[in-house]
Copies of this chain bind each other. A is one copy, B any other.
Amino acid sequence: MRLFNKVAVIGTGLIGGSLALFIKKNKLAGEVVGVARHKASLNLALKMKAIDRGSLSLGIIKGADFLILATPVDLIIGLRKKILKIAGKNCLVTDVGSTKGKIVALLEKDFPNFVGSHPLAGSEKHGILNAHPDIFKDSLCVLTPTRRTSMKALSKIKKLWLRTGARVALLSPDEHDRALSFTSHLAHIVAFSLINSVPLSFLKLSAGGLKDTTRIASSAPLLWQGIFLTNRKNLLRAVNSFEGNLQKIKGAIIKNDKKLLTNILKQAQNKRSLIE
């Protein structure tokens, strides 16, 4: 069932590319066009049949009735006026950025049919090569409507995500950014800091624990600096809370307090059991 005439995906990476593949596979659009920064990834997107046509410049999005903004968050913000000029304000628009406050506030002013999305389906892998139409299946996709959001646009975006097999949750952009600062962004900060702390000569003595704990430290630096800096306030609060918890464990170790230390670890074990 065709939902769109012309879909334009700006940023054909892991998430944009996967959504394009899903739309093409299920024939949800008459045409899917893609914009990327590098010729090589455009060629890959064409070869993988994620898009019908691709371009390094935004001109190709003209006439689209659905725009998917899937570049790193800070780029979305920088490109918005140019996109508006070419695509016009009436098309349905979503983004897939990992922070929502800033993006939603700016984009919903420009596009009356904008709905913010955040599919929690990424990983430390990136690029179209890792894209797959099924990556959203059984994952969670957070939509972030506001008072200004068109109900019709929200309903259409929600329908698309449900079709991918994702569960959909609705949160305000603020709630989203506060929650994700703890459940995703803080975990990345911690992983980056942890691997940077391990002396090079000790790396050969790593076991499974360090590998898991630092897997997401392989994530793309440019993507993540943008996420961190567009969610600074929440993130700094999350880092402070983490530092407090680290101090508690450190204090128990300094005081050689077996009982306190065991209690802190038990609390962690119990909490961890709630997420899987």
Enumerate chain A interface residues (CB-CB to B < 8 A).
120-124, 139-140, 142, 169, 178-180, 182-184, 186-200, 202-203, 205-222, 224-225, 228-229, 232, 235-236, 238-239, 241-246, 248-250, 253-254, 256, 258, 261-262, 264-269, 271-276
Contacts and interface: CB of A to CB of B under 8 A. Distances in A.
Counting chain B CB atoms within 10 Å of each CB, the highest count among A258, A272, A276 belongs to A272
22 contacts: A122-B208, A123-B208, A169-B205, A182-B202, A183-B205, A187-B209, A187-B210, A187-B214, A189-B246, A191-B268, A193-B242, A196-B248, A197-B242, A197-B244, A210-B275, A217-B271, A218-B269, A219-B265, A219-B269, A221-B268, A228-B253, A229-B256
A182 B199 contact: yes
Dominant SS among interface residues on chain A: helix
B225 A261 contact: yes
Nearest to A124: B209
A25 B220 CA distance: 46
Most buried by B among A200, A203, A232, A254: A203
B203 A274 contact: yes
Given A122-B207, A197-B242, A239-B253, 19 more contacts: A122-B208, A186-B197, A189-B246, A189-B250, A190-B190, A191-B209, A191-B268, A193-B242, A193-B249, A194-B242, A196-B245, A196-B267, A203-B271, A214-B268, A217-B272, A228-B249, A228-B261, A229-B261, A243-B243
Contact of A275 (B179, B188, B203, B265): B203
Given A186-B197, A197-B245, A232-B253, A275 B225 contact: no
A176 to B, nearest CB: 8
A190 B183 contact: no
A210 to B, nearest CB: 5
A256 B236 CA distance: 12
Contacts of A214: 187, 268, 272, 275
A215 B196 CA distance: 20
